[in-house]
């Protein structure tokens, strides 16, 4: 009996030890990256980068699985994290600047930003104004002129509803044309992939989305034409010839940071292990090429620096939401 009790105690200690090791560094265990929208949008790119970057540094890591959880362009995923119905050290969720915007003016429900642990910003994207390749709109000035003539003449289509970041880009473009953004036509879709499909099908006229998702669609031979990038200066690489909105007389700049968060209930040590894993991955040779393959641009933050950035962005978005007359839900 005593021998059996001793063996049982040793077995319990071994199991506890393995569990402790796994919780200390969950990046070494099986994990998943939740894509909180339908396929084909920017969250796909975030999880693809999160999957591939750590593998390049430590190939023996278990591959990061990917799972779709559409609903409110991130609202459903955040609610499940905040209420404890989803989470744990092995559940990473993709976020973007649009997620922070929605969080800032209450579109993620009654949950505070402290319901999440912000793990890593992996890169940044930039807004874009795109049309079908056979559209009569050939320059951003053509869009501005059409909006001045009749605000409801053109239909915008993008991921998210009123108050989302894509809606914000459309609203700011209408305001730049000297018209009331409340009179614009905007069709909401569950992610950029659906919106691009609607644009290709002729159901909407303009896509105020992001560069990376538009480039992925063009690479898949989608009949799209980019009119302007919403960066403060021309982007390097394949888009070096694409003018910014600012160059075309429209003061509209919209960066879209892409990153990952965990539940706030995850132990600090586990969150730190994830942040450190991504910090090492982003500092490794080859990361820049991997990020560029997905159409993203340099922006790397982890730890306290990322938390500070999130708080500044939340404050900025609250001011912008107030300026555009958006109420808190």
- pLDDT tens for 249-303 read 999 999 999 999 999 999 999 999 999 999 999 999 999 999 998 889 999 999 9
* Phi, psi angles (nearest 5°) of residue 260: -135, 150
pLDDT number for residue 22: 41
Token readout for 261 is 């968060």
| Lowest mean pLDDT, pick from 181-185, 219-223, 301-305 | 219-223
Query: pLDDT at residue 6 above 80?
Result: no
Phi-psi region of 278 (alpha: psi -120 to 50; beta: other; left: phi over 0): alpha
How far apart are the C-alpha atoms of 208 and 296, rounded to whole Å? 17
How far apart are the C-alpha atoms of 85 and 142, rounded to whole Å? 48
pLDDT number for residue 279: 95
pLDDT number for residue 263: 97
3-class DSSP state of 201: coil
Q: Give every CB contact of residue 2 below 8 A, 6+ residues apart in sequence.
A: none
pLDDT number for residue 321: 86
- Residue 172's beta-bridge partner residues? none
In terms of pLDDT, which residue wins out, 47 or 26?
A: 47
Q: What is the pLDDT of residues 142-161, one digit of tens each?
A: 999 999 999 999 999 998 78
Q: Which pLDDT band holds residue 222 (cuts at 50, 70, 90)?
A: confident
* Phi, psi angles (nearest 5°) of residue 175: -65, -35
Query: pLDDT at residue 20 above 70?
Result: no
pLDDT number for residue 328: 56
pLDDT number for residue 4: 40
How far apart are the C-alpha atoms of 147 and 172, rounded to whole Å? 12
pLDDT number for residue 57: 67
Q: Which pLDDT band holds residue 100 (cuts at 50, 70, 90)?
A: very high
CA distances from 20 to 7, 91, 157, 174, 237 (A): 20, 17, 48, 54, 45
Gyration radius of the chain's alpha carbons: 22
Q: Residues of the chain with pLDDT > 70: what percent?
A: 91
β-strands 116-132, 255-263 pairing: antiparallel
Stated length of the chain: 329
Q: Give every CB contact of residue 212 below 8 A, 6+ residues apart in sequence.
A: 42, 45, 125, 294, 295, 296
Strand runs labelled E in the chain = 32-35, 65-68, 91-96, 116-132, 155-159, 185-189, 224-230, 255-263, 301-302
Q: What is the pLDDT of residues 102-143, one digit of tens each?
A: 899 888 889 999 999 999 999 999 999 999 999 999 999 999
Q: Please compute, for residue 219, the number of CA atoms within 13 A of its CA located in the half-sphere on the CB side.
A: 11
Query: pLDDT at residue 64 above 60?
Result: yes
pLDDT number for residue 327: 64
How far apart are the C-alpha atoms of 318 and 206, rounded to whole Å? 26
Query: pLDDT at residue 61 above 80?
Result: no
Query: pLDDT at residue 2 above 50?
Result: no
pLDDT number for residue 187: 95
pLDDT number for residue 131: 95
pLDDT number for residue 13: 27
Helices (H), 237-286: 268-283
Share of the chain residues as helix, strand and coil, in percent rounded to the nearest 5: 50, 20, 30
In terms of pLDDT, which residue wins out, 22 or 18?
A: 22
Per the CB < 8 A criterion, the answer to whether 254 and 313 are in contact is no
pLDDT number for residue 181: 93
pLDDT number for residue 8: 35
């Amino acid at each position: 009996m005593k021998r059996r009790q001793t063996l049982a105690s040793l077995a319990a200690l071994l199991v506890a030890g393995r569990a402790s090791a796994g919780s200390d560094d969950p990046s070494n265990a099986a994990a998943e990256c939740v894509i909180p929208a339908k396929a084909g949008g920017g969250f796909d790119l975030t999880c693809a980068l999160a999957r591939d970057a750590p593998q390049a540094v430590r190939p023996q890591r278990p591959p990061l699985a990917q799972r779709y959880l559409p609903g409110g362009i991130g609202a459903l995923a955040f609610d499940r994290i905040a209420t404890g119905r989803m989470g744990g050290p092995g559940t990473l969720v993709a976020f973007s600047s649009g997620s922070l915007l929605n969080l800032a003016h209450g579109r993620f429900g009654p949950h505070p930003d402290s319901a999440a642990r912000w793990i890593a910003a992996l890169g940044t994207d930039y807004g874009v104004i795109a049309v079908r390749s056979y559209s009569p709109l050939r320059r951003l000035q053509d869009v501005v002129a059409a909006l001045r003539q009749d605000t409801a003449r053109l239909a915008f289509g993008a991921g998210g509803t009123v108050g989302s970041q894509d809606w914000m880009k459309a609203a700011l473009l209408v305001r730049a044309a000297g018209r009331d953004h409340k009179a614009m036509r905007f069709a909401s879709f569950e992610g950029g992939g659906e919106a691009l499909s609607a644009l290709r099908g002729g159901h909407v006229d303009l896509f105020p989305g992001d560069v990376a998702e538009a480039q992925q669609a063009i690479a898949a031979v989608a009949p799209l034409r980019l009119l302007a990038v919403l960066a403060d200066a021309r982007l390097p690489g394949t888009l070096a010839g694409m003018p910014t909105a600012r160059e075309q007389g429209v003061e509209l700049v919209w960066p879209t940071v892409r990153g990952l968060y965990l539940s706030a209930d995850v132990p600090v040590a586990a969150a730190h292990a994830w942040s450190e894993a991504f910090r090492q991955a982003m500092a490794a040779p080859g990361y820049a090429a991997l990020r560029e393959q997905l159409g993203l641009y340099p922006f790397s933050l982890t730890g306290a620096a990322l938390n500070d950035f999130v708080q500044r962005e939340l404050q900025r978005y609250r001011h912008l939401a107030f300026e555009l007359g958006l109420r808190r839900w």
